[in-house]
Structure 1
Amino acid sequence: MSKFKGALRFLPAALLLAACQSEPPPAKPLTPEESAALKPADARIAGLYDQACKSCHTVADTGAPLTGDRTQWDKRWAKGEEALLASAVQGLGGMPAGGQCFSCTPDDYKALIRFMAGRN
């Protein structure tokens, strides 16, 4: 019984930690400058992003959701990753099929989408 009582003293801290981890940070609009400053951690994905995505996803006037701006991405993210992948591959609105990423694999697109949507 003493082992059980000893474990109980850590319960409040564990519950607090779990609560902090389950709440995502609140979405806030980003400026194009803040968006342009973001970069994927993976060097290969960063190269693909710089080559194919950044020129539209960091400029407000293009109509593309700004990289990292969850206020613009959350409603898109709610459609599901597969729907976003399909949009990237097929094109959507002003975005051409494949988003001009001629060497992207489906996994590359997923990594790029997760990064731009602020989900990495």
Structure 2
Amino acid sequence: MSDAHDQHESAIKTPKQLVVAVLAAILVPIICIVMLVQFVTSGNLPNAGSSAQTPEAIAARIQPVSDVGYTFKDASAPKQLLSGEEIYKTTCVACHGAGVAGAPKFGDLAAWAPRLKEGYDKVVGYALHGLNAMPARGGNADLDDVEVARAVVYMANHSGASFKEPEVPAPAPAAETAAAK
């Protein structure tokens, strides 16, 4: 029989190679542990210092959605008329802010000039009943005639006109309102 199957070959052939292999086996894990400890204690961790777990942040995340951005109104209360600027910011800016679909841009004197030459009543009529791509009342059917007129005056006066703010009609007395029903 042959002794060939009992012979072993190793990558380490000299005592110097053995010493290097043993030192490497000891030093490499130690260096890895030191680097890991350095990383953990460095303070530059992702999400470090995040305020996501503060009581205020948690309360903001779990509050009911209905409490954010909604104003509850009493349907039986008298209507509070909005200013021209408020109407512009909530309804008109969608088209007149960027000049969408041929709408004259807010503050553009050249675009507003032909319309302003037609006069206050005509421009308010366009806003109330619609013109070309613009829907009646700017697409907001909840607006009162006075609110639409205020928005027109606001936009027109910032575009070179000098229209007078419309008068707000006095609310009807409660006795007349009840008799009308």
Relative to structure 1, the CA distance from residue 90 to residue 61 in structure 2 (aligned partners, 3 Å threshold; closer, same or farther) is closer
How far the C-alpha of 1:44 sits from its partner, in A, is: 3.5
Give the structure 1 partner of residue 93 of structure 2. Answer: 54
The equivalent of 1:90 in structure 2 is: 129
- Aligned match of 1:107 in 119, 123, 146? 146
Conserved in 1, the CA contact under 8 Å of 2:84 and 2:148?
A: no
Residues 1:81 and 2:120 aligned together: yes
Q: Which residue of 2 aligns with 1:69?
A: 108
Higher-Rg structure is 2
What runs of 5+ residues in structure 1 fail to find an aligned partner?
1-42
RMSD: 1.8
Separation (CA, whole Å) in 2 of partners of 1:44 and 1:112: 7
Runs of 4+ with >6 A deviation: none
**TM-score, reference length from structure 1:** 0.57
Moved more, 55-64 or 91-100: 55-64
Structure number having the greater helix percentage: 1
> What is the Cα deviation at residue 101 of structure 1?
2.6
CA distance in 2, matches of 1:115, 1:98: 15
Between 95-104 and 68-77, the greater mean CA deviation after superposition? 95-104
Percentage of pairs with the same residue? 27
Q: Call closer, same or farther: CA 1:55–1:85 in 2, change over 3 Å.
A: same
Structure 2: 5+ residue stretches without partners: 1-81, 163-181
**Residues 51, 101 of structure 1: 8 Å contact kept:** no
Contact 1:66 1:116 in 2 (8 A): no
Contact persistence 1:67–1:115 (CA under 8 A) = no
Separation in structure 1 between the aligned mates of residue 155 and residue 114 of structure 2, nearest angstrom: 13
Residue equivalent to 1:29: none
**TM-score calculated relative to the size of structure 2:** 0.39
Number of aligned pairs?
78
Give the match's secondary structure for 2:85.
helix
Higher relative contact order (CA 8 A, sep 6+): 1
Distance 1:71 1:111 in 2: 21
